Amino acid sequence: MNVVHTLKVIARTLNVGEDLSTMLQSVLERLLEVTNHDTGWIFLIEGHRHQMVAHHGLPSGLEHRSKLMCEGGCWCKDKYMNGQLKKAANIMECRRIERASELGRPTKGLTHHATVPIFAGDRTYGLINIASVDKNHFSNEELEVLETVALQIGAAIYRLKQEEKKRELARMDERNKLARDLHDSVNQLLFSVSLTAKGIKGKGEDTNVNEAIDLIGEVSSEALLKLKQIIWQTSTEELEDGIVAAIHRYAALIGIKVNVKGDGNVQLPSRVERNVWRIIQESINNCSKHSGEKSVDLHFDRDESNWMVSITDFGCGFSPQDHSIFSGDGFLNMRTRAQEIGATFNMKSAPDQGTVISISIPLASNEQNIFRTKKERE
């Protein structure tokens, strides 16, 4: 095995990669090619969830969409989650392979695999698993190469994530600029129209004209309120004072009272905070539009492994058999935002029994100190 050649090939692939899944798939295939191993797979792990983002040469009993690979735990993941996996491990029996064998699925004689954590500095991203038929031992040289490649992959993932953060900051700046422009231009124009309509109302004797002026005033006032909502939904600056303050301001804007239970003043990663805020915002909007109620209960809670938020209204509710609800943009947007932060999303309702929307965000052990309330940080 030509170690220098291996690392050069991998480095070139990582340096030009922009799409993470495509890059990791290419790296894995090249790694297996130059090391003469039969199969491999890469898990990216966030919170307690793992995703197989690349694989090559898997036996049919461990095919990509198989629940054996995509669901449940395994020894390598358990060690990774417990902080016990610091370097390439030689060799780990595979619980997933064992389960496939027990189910009578073909595994091509695989019994063991080497496993290597992917990290950059103190940031951990996932695992590389490498295996070959009838191989139950990897040499120190092989393990060193795998560790070096894992470090290269970790650095590349860190680079891509930093680039995405920069793009996200640029998008946020553009959104804030748009929100300010809307406020300074269209908002003022609509306000002027509304004010003018009120000023000339009743000055003429023509009933039709006065009715038209009334309509202009009503439409411009409604458009003004809608524009303020759009500005709130577009801008990211509303979170500068924290998520609870933003919720109260927005709810007051659309005439909804929010009863907050628990301490929502938590220190959140910005991506999590923005998505949680948008889900709550959409829930408040739904209450205003559909429930017939003017108040909602917002409950924050946390246990050792999850941060939880629930939004409850006691309005008219809806039937779970009403599929139009679950195919609407509002529901789909909330569910998508929850998925983006690795959270579970649930919505429960029944006619005349209100609606409860809940999200649960799993926390990795190294994130526990991030999700702290303001009181805990002091």
Q: What is the pLDDT along the chain (378 residues), one digit of tens a residue?
A: 566 776 777 787 787 767 888 889 988 988 888 788 888 889 888 877 778 888 888 777 676 445 556 566 676 777 777 777 777 776 666 667 667 766 667 666 676 778 888 988 888 888 898 888 877 778 888 888 888 889 888 988 888 888 888 887 777 777 777 767 666 667 666 767 776 777 776 666 666 767 777 777 777 777 777 776 676 666 666 777 888 888 888 888 888 899 999 877 777 777 888 889 889 988 888 888 777 788 899 999 988 778 899 999 988 888 877 766 666 677 888 888 898 888 999 999 888 888 999 999 887 544 444 455 445 444
d(CA 345, CA 338): 6
Class of domain 240-378: alpha beta
Residue 69 near residue 53 (C-beta atoms within 8 A): no
Q: Which two tokens stand for residue 339?
A: 């998925």
CB atoms within 10 A of CB 368: 13
Q: Burial of 148 by CB count in 10 Å (0-12 exposed, 13-18 middle, 19+ buried)?
A: middle
Residue with tokens 């990582």: 14
Q: What's the pLDDT score for residue 39?
A: 87
Q: What's the pLDDT score for residue 309?
A: 94
Q: What's the pLDDT score for residue 377?
A: 44
Adjacent-strand bridge partners of 296: 258
Q: What's the pLDDT score for residue 359?
A: 94
d(CA 93, CA 143): 16
d(CA 14, CA 2): 19
d(CA 210, CA 5): 83
Q: Which two tokens stand for residue 341?
A: 């932060």
pTM of structure: 0.55
Residue 354 near residue 291 (C-beta atoms within 8 A): yes
d(CA 143, CA 114): 8
Cα 282–283–284 angle (5° rounding)? 90
Amino acid found at 17 = G
State how beta strands 89-93 and 112-120 pair: antiparallel
> How does 30-39 read in b/e, with b if 16+ C-beta sit within 10 Å?
bbbebbebbb
Cα 13–19–336 angle (5° rounding)? 155
Could you say which architecture CATH assigns to the domain 3-164? 2-Layer Sandwich (3.30)
Q: What's the pLDDT score for residue 21?
A: 85
Nearest Cα neighbor of 306 from 265, 258, 365, 259 is 365
Residue 17 near residue 156 (C-beta atoms within 8 A): yes
**DSSP state at residue 342:** T
Tell me the three state secondary structure of residue 119: strand
